[in-house]
Amino acid sequence: MSEPILVIRHLSKSFGKNQVLTDIDFEVDKGDVTCIIGASGSGKSTLLRCVNLLETPSGGEILYMSSDIRSLKGGAPAYRRKVGMVFQSFNLFYNMNVLKNCTVGPRKVLHVSKEEAEKTAMYYLEKVGMAAYVKARPRQLSGGQKQRVAIARALCMHPDILLFDEPTSALDPEMVGEVLSVMRSLAKDGMTMLVVTHEMAFAREVANKVVYMNKGVILEQGTPDQIFNHPQHQETKDFLARVR
């Protein structure tokens, strides 16, 4: 068994007096697809943002390949090359077309050549079904298409792990499927993923770990079967009954 990619220990986060995360503990192994579920406001986004250092944790530690992410060489930018993130609101660069959105990271951050960056970009754009749209600008795309480009953009950095923060929550219902099918195929290829989602069917089918969060703590975690079919806590049962 190789070392876990991420180890999160006693992580806490507060905004001023408002304690949002308390004593969060979990691990992500290579190839894991971990789904984080829980009610709105339970701290799922904050957890993901701490993992990517978009928020500074208030306490505890996050280990990436056994080293504390705050003491890594090159600081947060160097660490984030290895950890991709896909946002609810896509966050594409509006001044660039689809191809450039995917090549700017490899070129400016990883300093690969233009040819190589474009080759990689085309490979992943093909994978998410957006290769035909290389010349389009983000404002010319539908939500589902934007999100697929955002996924390709993250993949072009060859991350060790991909974080998804409710990737389908901002989409019209008919576009949810196209994004989930891309994520499903990534999981099949062995991509390590940490996914905050309200798509319970997806979590049940694709995840090998499910984490249930409630009011800033992890109330329970386990296999999809454990969480969905045999939840231990009343809150978990209530939550699952509500989202079903």
Partner 1 sequence: MDNFSKLLTEIGETWAKNSTQYLVGARQTILLAVVATAIGCLIGFLCGVLQTIPVQKHDNVFKKVLLAVVRAVIRVYVEVFRGTPMILQAVFIYFGVPYFFGTDNVFQLLVDSVNGAFGRPVLTLIGFVSYFVVSVNTGAYMAETVRGGILSIDPGQTEGAKAIGMTHLQTMLHVILPQMFRNIIPQIGNNLIVNIKDTSVMFIIGYTELFAVHKGVVGSTYVYFPSAVIEMIMYLAMTVICSVILRLLERKLDGPENFDVTTADSLAHTSGMTTYVKKKEKEELR
* Residues making contact with ligand ADP (CB under 6 A): 15, 18, 20, 38, 40-46
Beta-bridged to residue 50, according to DSSP, are none
In the bound state with ligand ADP, the residue whose beta carbon lies nearer, of 41 and 77, is 41
Interface of this chain with partner 1, residues 33 to 92, rule: CB under 8 A: 52, 54, 56, 76-81, 84-85, 87, 89-92
Q: Does 144 bind partner 1 (CB under 8 A)?
A: yes
Strands 6-15 and 59-64: antiparallel
CB-count exposure of residue 104 (10 Å: 0-12, 13-18, 19+)? middle
Q: Are the C-beta atoms of residues 144 and 183 closer than 8 Å to each other? A: no
Q: How far is the CB of 40 from Mg ion (least distance, A)?
A: 7
* 201 is a contact residue toward partner 1 (CB under 8 A): no
Question: Which residues ranging from 105 to 134 are in contact with partner 1 (CB under 8 A)?
Answer: 105, 108-110, 128-133
* In contact, 147 and 128? CB cutoff 8 Å: no
CB 194 within 8 A of CB 205: no
Q: Please give the C-alpha separations between residue 192 and each of 32, 62, 74, 88, 241, in angstroms, as whole numbers.
A: 5, 17, 23, 19, 29
Backbone angles phi, psi at 7, to 5 degrees: -125, 125
For Mg ion, give the closer residue by CB, 98 or 171: 171
Tokens 């997806």: give the residue.
202
User: From the CB of 240, what's the least distance to ligand ADP, in Å?
Assistant: 16
SS3 state at 216: coil
Q: How far is the CB of 2 from ligand ADP (least distance, A)?
A: 30
Exactly one of 34, 45, 192, 236 binds Mg ion (CB under 5 A); that residue is 45
User: What residues pair up with 68 in beta bridges, in sequence order?
Assistant: 63
Q: Is 148 in the site for partner 1 (CB under 8 A)?
A: yes
Can you give the binding site for partner 1, defined by CB under 8 A? 52, 54, 56, 76-81, 84-85, 87, 89-95, 97, 104-105, 108-110, 128-133, 135-137, 140, 142, 144-145, 148, 150, 153-154, 157, 174-175, 177-178, 181-182
